[in-house]
Amino acid sequence: MQLDSLPSVRLSKTLYTLSRILIQRIQLTLNDFNLTYPQFLTLQILWEEDGLKVHELGKKLSLDSGTLTPLLKKLEIQNLLKRKRGEVDERTVLIHLSYPGKSLQAKVMDAMRMLEAELSTELGAETNGLLAAADAYFVKLTSN
């Protein structure tokens, strides 16, 4: 029996390949802002909810602190965010966007909207149906 005859294996392979291709396309847009895809995901969360604790951000990104800390350091060096130890509990680290980090949002989102328009032209309306199915699959797999 071939592994490709198993639907879950085929789906995982397809999603993996599709994810890599899509992230590469997004990365081309992010290069204009000197951002990596993981940095963009981090900023996207902070643009929606600034002032998160490191562990809260890690949970939203499904990253542990060992992976997240270098990413946050790079964003801090770029002056896009600030990390501050908690006053009550020094083990807690809060993350706040800096002014340049906040002002970058509009520029990045404009560029992402342009990319979305390009992709919509290429891919058509199928994306919304695919996204709904992927979301439902994700919920089923993570609810166990």
| Cβ within 8 Å of residue 4, ≥6 positions away | 10, 13
3-class DSSP state for residue 81? strand
Top CATH class of 36-108 equals: mainly alpha
pTM across the whole model: 0.88
**pLDDT tens sequence for the chain (144 residues):** 687 788 888 989 999 999 999 999 999 999 999 999 999 999 999 999 999 999 999 999 999 888 999 999 999 999 999 999 877 777 889 999 999 999 999 999 999 999 999 998 888 878 888 889 889 988 998 887
